[in-house]
């Protein structure tokens, strides 16, 4: 039972039923109270009309035995004098039992009520209403009584008590209550059933999504997608978002697999070369190529450093917020000692990691030197809220179709070029990743002279998003 009510459909059904039940109870109570008040007022109106009819006859001096409204068995009437003594009653009226009506006058000559100031033949404008019971011809019943004061020209101040039966009002309230007690459970059952069916239909696509996600988890097949309903509601948006997440996850996993495969491939060559040289050196010490072994070791060290940096970037590492870097000084530092590199910079500071930004500049300069014929020009200037860094060479440039591909990992456009000359194809990928982590961009286009121009744009200090370590 606990598991059943743990479902969204069960909770929605229970919640809707409880809300409707509370609303029906409030509405039903309001209807019953309103009905009872209305019927009671109607009975009071009938009693008042009878009392005033009798009072009108007394006001003109009609004797008690000549009162025409005193013979209505359904509306008992009693007249009392100023001392509270009954002077006339309806036929068969035996007793009236209610406060202020039984045996006392509502208005007397010693009171301060307005009836004390009545002139002979005048009827009081005020009517007093009370509930009580009366016994007529041996049968007791509940009545609504109206009391009216009148001054008889001969008999003085009199009070007329007239009643109207409440049995019809009580019966109508009981009938309405019975109808509500029967109708409410039926209505709640209908609400619960409709809610159950509607929520089951609405949540059916969610169950389909859940089953497909469970199957994807079990099979580890990220190429599968959850079904998308032909609607425009939240469930359809959930399915689309889930598929987009699966697509992004598939791309990420595929990229990671390709990265591991490419890294393994790149590591295999220098490791194999180094092992061969060491084995030859162990067997024939005079043939050991120390310089070659050192070069392969350096290549391994650089490749390991590149792979480690990429792993840190993939993990979401970014620059420390608030760290300031003098970009002009950093450019001069990286360009120093590189032949053919000319620097044209203006003083400007950016926020970020000095080590990572230095790695970007070093990679761009190394790439430019490999493809330049004679010269490389580095430009730094501020463009509004951004800092522009341009690295241009006078080589053959990058074909337009390959201008995005070169930023992919382990991509080298010149496949015939030796690995020693071209590296592992990670430099530009690292440069772009670092630029993105710093809130910037890195693109390439052709210079007017035909070479390649790499354009790095970074936000200035406060525009930098929060990140990780330097």
Contact 374, 394 (CB under 8 A): yes
167 vs 159: CA distance, rounded Å? 25
Q: Tens digit of pLDDT for each residue in 242-255? A: 888 888 888 878 87
Over residues 141-169, mean pLDDT: 89
Q: Determine if the pTM surpasses 0.75.
A: no
What is the reported pLDDT for 115?
Answer: 52
Contact 105, 80 (CB under 8 A): yes
Give 299's contacts (C-beta < 8 A, 6+ positions apart): 270, 420
Banded model confidence at residue 267, pLDDT cuts 50, 70, 90: confident
Query: Token digits for 376?
Result: 């490389």
pLDDT for 455 beyond 90 = yes
Supply the mean pLDDT for the chain.
81
Contact 59, 215 (CB under 8 A): no
Most confident among 59-73, 105-119, 415-429 (mean pLDDT) = 59-73
What is the reported pLDDT for 101?
Answer: 52
pLDDT for 111 beyond 90 = no
Among 70, 43, 72, 38, residue whose Cα is nearest residue 131 = 43
**What sign has the CA pseudo-torsion 24, 27, 31, 32?**
positive
Following DSSP, what letter does each residue of 437-468 receive, concatenated? HTT-EEEEEE-TTSSEEEEEEEE-GGGPPP--
What is the reported pLDDT for 322?
Answer: 59
Contact 393, 370 (CB under 8 A): no
Banded model confidence at residue 275, pLDDT cuts 50, 70, 90: confident
Over residues 340-348, mean pLDDT: 89
pLDDT for 73 beyond 70 = no
Over residues 56-62, mean pLDDT: 87
What is the reported pLDDT for 458?
Answer: 92
Q: Tens digit of pLDDT for each residue in 362-398? A: 999 988 988 888 889 999 999 888 999 999 998 888 8
Q: Give helix 327-335 / helix 354-371 axis angle, nearest 10°.
A: 40
Among 352, 360, 369, residue whose Cα is nearest residue 317 = 352
Using alpha carbons only, what angle is made at residue 203 by residues 202 and 208, rounded to the nearest 5 degrees? 125
Q: Tens digit of pLDDT for each residue in 1-24? A: 445 455 777 888 888 889 989 998
Among 469, 333, 462, 468, residue whose Cα is nearest residue 386 = 462
Estimate the share of the chain in helix, then strand, then coil, as percent rounded to the nearest 5: 55, 20, 30
Banded model confidence at residue 321, pLDDT cuts 50, 70, 90: low
When computed from its CA atoms, the radius of gyration of the chain, rounded to whole angstroms, is 51
Q: Tens digit of pLDDT for each residue in 224-236? A: 888 888 877 788 8
> Residue 393 is inside which H or E element, if any?
strand 386-393
What is the reported pLDDT for 214?
Answer: 87
Give 108's contacts (C-beta < 8 A, 6+ positions apart): 82, 83, 84, 116, 157
Helix (H, G, I), strand (E, B) or coil at 45: helix
301 vs 181: which has the higher pLDDT: 181
What is the reported pLDDT for 282?
Answer: 79
9 vs 457: which has the higher pLDDT: 457
Q: What percent of the chain has pLDDT over 90?
A: 15
Banded model confidence at residue 99, pLDDT cuts 50, 70, 90: low
For the chain, the maximum distance between any two Cα atoms, rounded to a whole number of angstroms, is 157
Query: Token digits for 431?
Result: 């440069």
Q: Tens digit of pLDDT for each residue in 402-419? A: 888 888 877 777 543 444
Banded model confidence at residue 464, pLDDT cuts 50, 70, 90: very low
pLDDT for 461 beyond 80 = no
97 vs 406: which has the higher pLDDT: 406
Contact 94, 136 (CB under 8 A): yes
4 vs 195: which has the higher pLDDT: 195
Neighbour-count burial for 308-328, b at 16+ CB within 10 Å, e otherwise: ebbebbeeebbbeeeeebebb
Banded model confidence at residue 261, pLDDT cuts 50, 70, 90: confident
Q: Walk me through the domains of the chain, giving residue ranges and CATH numbers.
A: 1-221 (no CATH), 234-305 (1.10.287), 318-463 (3.30.565.10)
């Amino acid at each position: 039972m606990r598991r059943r009510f743990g479902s969204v459909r069960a909770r929605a059904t229970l919640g809707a039923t409880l809300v409707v039940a509370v609303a029906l109870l409030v509405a039903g109570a309001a209807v019953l109270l309103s009905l009872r008040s209305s019927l009671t007022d109607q009975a009071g109106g009938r009693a008042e009309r009878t009392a005033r009819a009798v009072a009108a006859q007394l006001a003109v001096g009609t004797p008690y035995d000549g009162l025409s409204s005193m013979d209505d068995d359904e509306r008992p009437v009693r007249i009392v004098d100023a001392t509270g003594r009954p002077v006339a009653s309806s036929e068969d009226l035996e007793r009236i039992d209610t406060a202020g009506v039984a045996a006392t006058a509502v208005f007397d000559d010693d009171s301060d009520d307005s009836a004390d100031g009545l002139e002979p033949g005048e009827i009081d404008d005020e009517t007093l209403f009370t509930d009580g019971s009366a016994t007529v011809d041996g049968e007791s019943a509940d009545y609504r009584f109206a009391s009216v004061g009148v001054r008889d020209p001969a008999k003085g101040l009199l009070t007329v008590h007239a009643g109207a039966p409440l049995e019809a009002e009580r019966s109508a309230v009981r009938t309405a209550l019975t109808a509500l007690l029967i109708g409410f459970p039926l209505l709640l059952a209908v609400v619960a059933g409709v809610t159950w069916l509607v929520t089951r239909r609405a949540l059916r696509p969610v169950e389909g999504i859940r089953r497909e996600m469970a199957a994807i988890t079990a099979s580890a097949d990220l190429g599968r997608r959850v079904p998308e309903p032909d609607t425009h509601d939240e469930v359809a948006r959930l399915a689309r978002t889930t598929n987009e997440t699966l697509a992004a996850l598939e791309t990420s996993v595929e990229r990671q697999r390709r990265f591991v495969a490419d890294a393994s491939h790149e590591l295999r060559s220098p490791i194999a070369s180094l092992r061969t040289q060491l084995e030859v050196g162990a067997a024939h010490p005079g043939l050991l190529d120390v310089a070659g072994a050192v070069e392969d070791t350096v290549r391994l060290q650089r490749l390991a450093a590149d792979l480690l940096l990429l792993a840190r970037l993939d993990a979401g590492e970014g620059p420390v917020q608030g760290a300031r870097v003098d970009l002009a000084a950093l450019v001069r530092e990286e360009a120093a000692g590189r032949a053919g590199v000319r620097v044209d910079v203006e003083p400007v500071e950016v926020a970020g990691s000095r080590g990572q930004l230095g790695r970007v500049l070093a990679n761009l300069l190394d790439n430019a030197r490999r493809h330049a014929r004679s010269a490389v020009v580095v430009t730094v200037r501020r463009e509004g809220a951004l800092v522009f860094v341009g690295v241009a060479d006078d080589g053959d440039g990058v074909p337009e179709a390959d201008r995005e591909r070169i930023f992919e990992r382990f991509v080298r456009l010149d496949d015939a070029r030796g690995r020693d000359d071209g590296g592992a194809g990670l430099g530009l990928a690292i440069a772009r990743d670092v630029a993105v982590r710093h809130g910037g961009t890195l693109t390439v286009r052709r210079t007017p002279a035909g070479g390649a121009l790499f354009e790095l744009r970074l936000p200035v200090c406060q525009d930098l998003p929060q990140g990780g370590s330097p």
